[in-house]
Structure 1
Amino acid sequence: MPLINADEKELAKFSELAHRWWDPESEFKPLHEINPLRLNWIDEHASIAGKQVLDIGCGGGILTESMARKDAKVTGIDLSEKALAVARLHLFESQLSIDYQNVSAEEFAKRHPATFDVVTCMEMLEHVPDPASIVKACATLVKPGGHVFLSTINRNLKAYLFAIVGAEYVLNMLPRGTHEYAKFLKPAELSRYLRDADLEVQELIGMHYQPLNKTYSLGNGSDINYLMRAIKPQN
């Protein structure tokens, strides 16, 4: 694993777009559109009000703020200082209280083991060199009995055609070069990372896009985008 588990090109790419995080018609439009689904799924299973929640790879704070609006006590961490600057600036508008920190998941885990009731890491694992290391950090950070929520993209021909060719080149939903196929993760691989980190997988669910009516939904089938939920055993 590199000294810091991050791809410098990936960091630079998202840092350049940082000022557009909160524009719902920007490159981050898909994140704004799927956020209610992600939030409701997390809250349904973890009832986050009043709980200590950590958002790893928080970027400009779209999910982070929505969890704070549910009265969770939220910390957001990211390695892009530009994205965090936008996230902190947006707090003046939202009037929410969130602790944003520029630190890696691994380093943060060393400082705060077994601190959080809920740990989220959404749309990030497919952008780092060593996703297993991030999963291990999640396991260290979450309290026994706590929940870990993750989302990423499957690695197969269908995912390549829809998530890269379709989303980036045909529908122009995302900037070209947003994703690298080799970094996509099969659900079996992510499940293994979770088990190796002593987390118990509770659910695998797919996120689906309907191009005709341009809506998203959660349901069966994890061929392309999927979410996974795990808990840390009490013992």
Structure 2
Amino acid sequence: MKFLCFSQNFEVLAIKSQDSEIEHFSSLSEHWWDVNGPLRTLHAINPVRLNFLRSCIGVDGLSILDVGCGGGIFSEELAKIGGNITAIDLSDELIQVALSHSALNDLKINYQVKELKHFDNSTQFDVICCMEMIEHVDNPNELLSDIATRLKPGGILIGSTLTRTPVSFALAIVAAEHLLGIIPKGTHSYEKFLLPSEINTKLQNHGLSLFKTNGINYNPLTGRASLSKTITSNYIFAAKKND
């Protein structure tokens, strides 16, 4: 089902292909580290994502894979708290941004332009992070299967995405993209949003047990984000691979 925004300034919202998703985010590469730029909400929720991860697992010395790392906003924070970080993205432009920025901060992060399924199956990680990416892929089942394969037994997946409800459509697309302009237009496709129950089912199908979920709230007036017990739009979750 597609929603139409009843304003001549609004675009008709449709499902984007994965190639167009990559092109969209690559076009934002020069603004990736501008905390007041078009990706300011990503910077605002970054501490919240990190706090959630740290409430689930200590990362010092662990091998961590950041899937869909973009320009490295989350990868750098993981490296700062002692993780051994490999970070991958399909955008060469964003990986170049990530490499340049991590060099400025003398951070050792193994950045690669690579698709997760192209890792050798014997390569496994203690933790895999997949932040704000699930809603941008064509096949989330395939993505979660690849993640499960590359997690060590007992390993942890930390992921975040958006729920598919009229409220999330109003907040994440109508308000955030069109009315307030706090994220670039065309960032989201509503049809790719997933209910928490759908995520849970997909995780179970791939041998992953969901053990923690929180909503992520963002206040555009203050520019601050926080965790919530209720899920209205964005949410973050943790799942453990069965031993």
Counterparts of 2:61 and 2:195, CA distance in 1: 34
Structure 1 residue 176 displacement after superposition: 1.0
Counterparts of 1:113 and 1:76, CA distance in 2: 17
Work out which of the residue numbers 215, 231, 241 in structure 2 matches 1:206.
215
The correspondence of residues 1-235 of structure 1 with structure 2, limited to 5 A, is 7-108=18-119, 111-113=120-122, 115-234=124-243
Q: Percent of counterpart pairs with the same letter? A: 38
Q: Secondary structure at the match of 2:152?
A: strand
Q: Secondary structure at the match of 1:27?
A: coil
* Structure with more of its chain in helix, by fraction: 1
Instruction: Mark the runs of 5 or more structure 2 residues left unpaired by the alignment.
Output: 1-16
Structure 1 residue 197 displacement after superposition: 0.4
Counterparts of 2:147 and 2:25, CA distance in 1: 22
- TM-score by length of structure 2 reads 0.90
Counterparts of 1:190 and 1:158, CA distance in 2: 18
Worse overlay, 74-83 or 98-107: 98-107
Counterparts of 2:44 and 2:204, CA distance in 1: 31
C-alpha spacing 1:23/1:210, structure 2 compared with 1 (3 Å): closer
Report if the CA contact (8 A) 1:49-1:72 is conserved.
Answer: yes
1:80-128 residue CA offsets vs partner (Å, 9 max, x unmatched) = 01100110111221100000111111222xx144621100000001111
- TM-score by length of structure 1 reads 0.93
Provide the alpha-carbon RMSD of the alignment.
Answer: 1.2
